[in-house]
A and B are shown apart, each in its own frame.
Chain A
Amino acid sequence: MTATSNIAQIHPPTPAPQAGVEMTGAEMVIQALRDNGVDTLFGYPGGAVLPIYDALFANDDMRHILVRHEQGAGHAAEGYARSTGKVGVALVTSGPGATNMVTPLADALLDSIPLVVITGQVPTHLIGTDAFQECDTVGITRSCTKHNWLVSDIDDLAAILHGAFYVARSGRPGPVVVDIPKDIQFAQGTYLPPGQSPRRSKRTTRQVDQTKIAQAVEIMARAKRPILYTGGGVINAGPSASAALRELARETGFPVTSTLMGLGAFPASDPQWLGMLGMHGSWEANHAMHDCDVMICIGARFDDRVTGRLDKFSPNSIKIHIDIDPSSINKNVRVDVAIISDAGEALRAILSAWRTRRAPAPSIDAWWQRIDQWRARKCFSYAHDTDVIKPQYAIERLFAATRGKDVYITTEVGQHQMWAAQYFHFDEPNRWMTSGGLGTMGYGLPAALGVQAAHPDALVIDIAGEASVQMTMQEMSTAVQHRLPIKVFILNNEWMGMVRQWQQLLHGERYSHSYSEALPDFVKMAEAFDCTGIRANRPEELDTKIAEMIAAPGPVLFDCRVAREENCFPMIPSGKAHNEMILADDLAATRIDDAGKKLV
């Protein structure tokens, strides 16, 4: 599998000890992490993991980032994983430590992020007695993990840990939990390295079906209005999948759009790029999706934020779907050709079949002319203001100021997230970390810590909203302690912007509890955390302040005061089709019916 081989390339395994070494369970955890290529973990100690922390004390080559809340450890591990292609690792205690991890686990499951989370558990003989800090961790996390284990025998521990890494990164990646009772951490046992441990999980290797590839290429070669619809699966398949996508786009001349999760797999600076699709996607991408005759979906899952109204979704197209997870096929949208495969392998197979096809493809010039007409609508234009900073303008200036730098972007969830996706452009994969599926406010700040831990010299920016960022604000303290110089760029409009926007459009402008009457002074807050606080109030000072933020050697909280009631457009209103999207200038004509209001 491509993802697996990438991990091996990025991190060659350290030499394993001789087979059959005696050690404690806690020492096995550290050894297993090392043998699976882990050099950094994110965690928070507590009673039920103290033996493992003791082993960490003795193995100071293993880098441990101490967070301020377990949720922060989970999101940091996600950011680490997403920006490196490696498995992210977190270590937390039993009870509240484990329950605080539930949100990151659910987040990683929906966005297919490989995580290994190790939780402490009360000793075996106390399980089921309502002991102090006991909770049913495997029960609680069963539905928000790809798999989980409660270790009940020291002899199983090493094999379970190696299996955990395999399950997390193989096939469609996802989070796993290994719950280790305290007595197992103390127990002595025999450690076997990954190659020599009994294999405890099913293999899912799969050959690409060449007949389906041939079918797909035949359909593609007859397409008059084709589109490549790509998603996070291309990123998960590693940089070589992004390279194959670029080659395929170049050779076919097909236009490319992507989901929120797939941004960066195809360069935004390429003329064939249509921008993101979906609820807040571009006019041209959504119209092209609606009117296409052949849709090639690669590593995306026809999510409701992408399809809009299902019965009007791309009504006249032949659909080809490449996904590594068979359950994604025909889940929401019936497709005509299904290719169960790693995105990179399928793309390379299609590419080689495309090169050897017999009939020349028909011209798609007319299709590009239509696309150019949609582009001419300039759907991302907005009214400039000389007194107030427009949030779109802030992202545009941030993007301009970071050109030529090694930059990674994380986000929270809401309007700022969509503006970041629209106005910050990505040319490379693994540069964009956002909570897509679960929509977790509070994701971006700790995720930025994980990214920065993996890329110490890079410029890591969390594009945030003032509401989201307060959910995991305490992790600024982690940034300061571990000298992780993240920049938190807060678009502060004093509202839960996306909630306010929906209340305006769908709930008769009744702004129920979406305004924060009291907000902290973010600059003073930065000072309290012993980092840098910067505030920008007016458009003309923005560039200087952004430059100041980038030049600051340590972490920065940037309070960017923006227009309060700006809405995020374009928008496909709930219950509408791709070709019924609205733009900023036809808001007055918008009426969303009751059926649409009931959707999320």
Chain B
Amino acid sequence: MTHSARSEARTLAILVDNEPGVLARVVGLFSARGYNIESLTVAETDTAAHTSRITVVTRGEPATIDQIKSQLDRIVSVRQVIDVTDDAAGVLRELALVKVRSSGQDRIEALRVADIFRAKVIDTTLESFIFEVTGASEKVDAFIDLMRPIGLTEISRTGVLSIHRGPHADRLMGGDAERSPEPLAS
């Protein structure tokens, strides 16, 4: 899919029944209908209720994003689709493991940058560090950009995770209410 001027990145939290094949259903929908996935995270989050949370960062024009949400809602295993992108109460975080190989002054510079980004050193040798950095994707990007000239050798990123501020569990947000299924019976 081509990126036009109106195309924008959106972060969707998808609460699904934790059952075999559910990830394939969600990912398969994106590939079958030609939608983008920029990042994807998934894990079981509520063992008692058998639910997992899939966070997808996708990109498209507003009409395409609406279609993606409606199409996700059609999947029987999908309980809720929540768009957390423009939500002031939405918290978005990503974790990255970043390996940097350097010596001399560059080692000191790497530690200084890590300190500014509040990244932790989780492994070291005499010629390398592995940093663990968390934050918004832009912050992780900035950290990686700064490490590149110092000796960046490898990156592993989780993709975006999201949750809402406040004491309550996730609920349907504004414009989505009309298109989302009723709460589950039993």
A and B form one complex: yes
Chain B: CB-nearest residue to A150:
B20
| A318-357 interface code vs B (CB 8 A; 1 in, 0 out) | 0000000111011100100000100000000000000000
Q: Is B153 an interface residue (CB 8 A)?
A: no
Is the beta-carbon distance between A205 and B76 smaller than 8 angstroms? no
Chain B nearest CB, measured from A576 CB (Å): 24
Closest Cβ neighbor of A201 among chain B residues? B76
Q: Please count how many residues in chain B sit with their CB below 8 Å of the partner chain's CB atoms.
A: 24
Residues of B within 8 A of A327 (CB): 67, 70-71, 73-74
Stretch in B6-14, B167-175, B176-184 touching the partner: B176-184
What 1/0 mask marks residues of chain B from 132 to 153 whose CB sits below 8 Å from any chain A CB? 0000000000000000000000
| Cα A139 to Cα B27 with chains together (Å) | 13
A204 on the B face (CB < 8 A): yes
Report the minimum CB–CB distance from B68 to chain A (whole Å). Answer: 9
Q: Does B2 contact A (CB under 8 A)?
A: no
Within 8 A of A (CB), among B23-68: 24-25, 28, 32, 63, 66-67
Chain B residues, CB < 8 A from A146: 76
* Interface hub of A147, A198, A325, A327 (most chain B Cβ within 10 A): A327
A202-B79, A327-B71, A331-B67 known; A138+B21 contact, CB < 8 A: yes
Asked whether A330 and B76 contact (CB < 8 A) given A203-B184, A205-B182, the answer is: no
Q: Which of B61-98 contact A (CB under 8 A)?
A: 63, 66-67, 70-71, 73-77, 79
- Cross-chain contact B182 with A326 (CB below 8 angstroms): no
Contact (Cβ within 8 A) A340 B178:
yes
Is B77 a contact of A330 with CB atoms below 8 Å?
no
CB distance from A396 to the nearest CB of B (A): 41
**A312 contacts the other chain (Cβ, under 8 Å)?**
no
Q: How far is the CB of B51 from chain A (nearest CB, A)?
A: 12
Chain A residues with CB below 8 A from B156, complex form: none
Residues A178-226 near B (CB distance < 8 A): 198-199, 201-206, 209
How far is B185's CA from A150's CA once the two chains are assembled, in angstroms? 22
How many angstroms between the C-alpha atoms of A330 and B71 in the bound complex? 12
Given A139-B24, A327-B67, A202 and B76 contact (CB-CB distance below 8 Å):
yes
- A106 CB to closest chain B CB (Å) equals 12
Question: A204, B70: Cβ atoms under 8 Å?
Answer: no
Give the docked Cα–Cα distance between A76 and B186 (Å). 35
Q: Number of residues in A with C-beta < 8 Å to the partner? A: 26
The reply to whether B76 and A167 form a contact with Cβ atoms under 8 Å apart is yes
**One of B20, B70, B181 near A329 (C-beta < 8 A):** B70
A147 B76 Cβ-Cβ under 8 A: yes
Contacts A138-B21, A142-B21, A143-B32; A330 near B66 (Cβ below 8 A): yes
Shortest beta-carbon distance, B184 to chain A, in Å?
A: 5
- Distance A138 CA – B19 CA, assembled complex (angstroms): 13
**What is the bound-complex CA distance between A153 and B92, given in angstroms?**
38
**Inter-chain contact B67/A202, CB cutoff 8 Å:** no
Write out the residue numbers on chain A whose beta carbons fall within 8 Å of the beta carbon of B24: 139, 142
A470-527 contacts to B (CB < 8 Å)? none
Residues of A within 8 A of B67 (CB): 327, 330-331
A residues in contact with B71, CB < 8 Å: 327
A330 with B63: in contact, given A142-B21, A203-B182, A204-B181 (CB under 8 Å)?
yes
Q: In the bound complex, do residue A325 and residue B25 qualify as a contact, i.e. CB atoms below 8 Å apart? A: no
Chain A residue numbers with a CB within 8 Å of B21 are 138-139, 142, 150
- CB contacts (< 8 Å) of A206 on chain B: these are 182
Please give the distance in Å from A130's CB to the nearest CB on chain B.
Answer: 19
Tell whether, in the assembled complex, residue A202 and residue B63 are in contact, meaning their CB atoms are under 8 Å apart: no
Chain A residues, Cβ within 8 Å of B66:
330
Interface centre among B20, B24, B70 (most CB of A within 10 A): B70
Distance between A339 CB and nearest chain B CB, rounded to angstroms: 11
Establish whether residues A143 and B28, one from each chain, have CB atoms under 8 Å apart when the complex forms.
yes
Cα distance A209–B76 when bound, in Å?
23
A482 to B182, CA, bound (A): 44
Contacts of B70 in A (CB 8 A): 325-327, 329
The reply to whether B63 and A142 form a contact with Cβ atoms under 8 Å apart is no
Contact B178 A202 (CB under 8 A): no
5 contacts between A and B (CB under 8 A): A150-B21, A167-B76, A326-B179, A327-B67, A340-B179
Task: Spell out B's residues near A (CB within 8 Å).
Answer: 20-21, 24-25, 28, 32, 63, 66-67, 70-71, 73-77, 79, 178-179, 181-182, 184-186
List 5 A-B pairs, minimum CB-CB distance, nearest first: A327-B70, A147-B76, A326-B179, A326-B70, A199-B186
